[in-house]
A = this chain, B = another copy of it.
Amino acid sequence: MALRPVQLKHLKNLFQIGTDEQVAKALDKIHPSDISVLFSELNEDQMKRLVDCLLLVKKAGKTLKELPEFILPDILEFIEIEKIAKIINRLDLDDASYMLTKIPENKWQTILEGVEIRRRINLEKLLLYPEDSAGSVMNPVTFSVSIEKTVAQAIADLQTFPERETVFYVYIVDGKRLEGVIPLRNLVIADSKASVRDIMKKNVIFIQATSDQEDAAQLVSQYNLLAIPVVDENKNLLGVIAVDDVIDIFEEEATEDIYHMAGLSGEDRAFTPVLTKIKKRSPWLLVNLTTAFLSALVILFFEATIAKVAALAAYMHIIAGLGGNGGIQSMVVITRSIALGEMEFSRVYQAIGKEMLNGLGLGIIGGMLVALIAGFVEMSPYLGVIALVSMVFNMIFAGFMGASVPLVLKWLKQDPAVGSGVFVTTIVDITGVFIFLGLATIFLDKL
């Protein structure tokens, strides 16, 4: 449970007046996840001291890995290289490799020199996997048992296995090749003289090391697993991805989806430095600017019409705005259905058709209201009808674009979310302006 205010106060007090040993003793009773929050309240010197205290109780690595991904590099920068090497030496290999990727590559050599040789070779292998691949996030220290052994031997092996906390399944191998799996709970209740071969499940769900981490997470979620084994092309067991990492992967992917739709990069958080924000957001600003100029060109094309009836500028703004919003809604619905694997329950043309019909419905409701107000305020039934017709057509088009863009991106094997937002709103904006001002120009003498 999160620290209570009184505990926090006591800890802060101790931090000011106590010795490192006293602080360390207090920290030893607290969950790393709760300790990690303390970093947000400390200055550089205090952070260094906190790390020293944590090192005394071998909790530094476990605590640091609980920090938000984009804060970790800043904090690691303060810590001396020898201390980082110590931390890397004690962490699970997947966490150690994660920690290294948060440190500038030019420091790796020096850090790895302080790491025990077998660990170092394993770490270097992990770092070679492409970013976001299953191999890059797996823990290569995996509990496996030879297919020739008995249940009693498997339990004895488990008792001497150093990283017991990460064992959810007993993987059965022939040489290195993955042949079967026994859930831990079945091992507990099995006859100790039975052969693991006889009680193992042969149909193991696994993932290739080079596959995307998201695919691994999907399999764990779909088949309600606690961990998924990672194998090479010959089905040799390389490592395992556990369910707690899967939750992290899902959170990361959900953020990525939302961010992509808004034209943001994943490294842009509340605490990101302003200059980084500006740098990351500028490219999309330019894309957005270019497309906004296209709308502006359409408006300029109808400059003479607006000069005659300036009120058109106001109604154009409503129609374009509602269209953009409608397009975004269709896009979010389809993108999310793709992400959750629900598109299998809907044909592509049906999904697009539904969004277009929804656009027709909302276009009629919204269009009637705009038409009524425009008609009465401007005392012009023609303007009302033009607003209604433009609104209906633009909302149908918004549904079409909102649904099609992510589906086409998916069909092209691209991320359905990247840039969809900017693209959909802009196109719908342009067509909305064009239909409305075009119709207004045709019937200009009636307005």
The reply to whether B285 and A362 form a contact with Cβ atoms under 8 Å apart is yes
Output the residue of A39, A281, A314 with the most chain B CB within 10 A: A314
Which A263-317 residues have a C-beta within 8 angstroms of B? 263-264, 268-275, 277-278, 281-282, 285-286, 288-289, 292-293, 295-297, 299-300, 303-304, 306-307, 310-317
Per-residue interface assignment for chain A, residues 314 to 343, with 1 indicating a CB less than 8 Å from any chain B CB and 0 otherwise: 111110111001101100111011001111
The reply to whether A336 and B303 form a contact with Cβ atoms under 8 Å apart is no
Which A220-272 residues have a C-beta within 8 angstroms of B? 220-226, 243-244, 246-248, 250-251, 254-255, 257-259, 261-264, 268-272
CB closest chain-B residue, reference A407: B270
Output the residue of A40, A318, A325 with the most chain B CB within 10 A: A325
- The one of B248, B274, B341 in contact with A361, judged by C-beta atoms closer than 8 angstroms, is B274
Output the residue of A188, A250, A261 with the most chain B CB within 10 A: A188
The reply to whether A33 and B222 form a contact with Cβ atoms under 8 Å apart is yes
Which residues of chain B are near A411, meaning CB under 8 Å? Answer: none
Q: Answer whether residue A357 sits at the interface, using C-beta atoms and an 8 A cutoff.
A: yes
Which residues of chain B are near A188, meaning CB under 8 Å? Answer: 155, 158, 184, 187-188
Which residues of chain B are near A361, meaning CB under 8 Å? Answer: 274-275, 277-278
Cα distance, A207 to B303, chains bound together (Å) = 63
The reply to whether A345 and B189 form a contact with Cβ atoms under 8 Å apart is no
Stretch from A46-54, A126-134, A363-371 at the B interface: A363-371
Which residues of chain B are near A337, meaning CB under 8 Å? Answer: 269-271
Which residues of chain B are near A296, meaning CB under 8 Å? Answer: 314-315, 317-318
Additional 11 contacts, C-beta under 8 A, given A164-B189, A251-B340, A269-B337: A164-B185, A221-B247, A243-B244, A250-B251, A254-B254, A274-B358, A277-B361, A285-B326, A289-B318, A300-B311, A303-B311
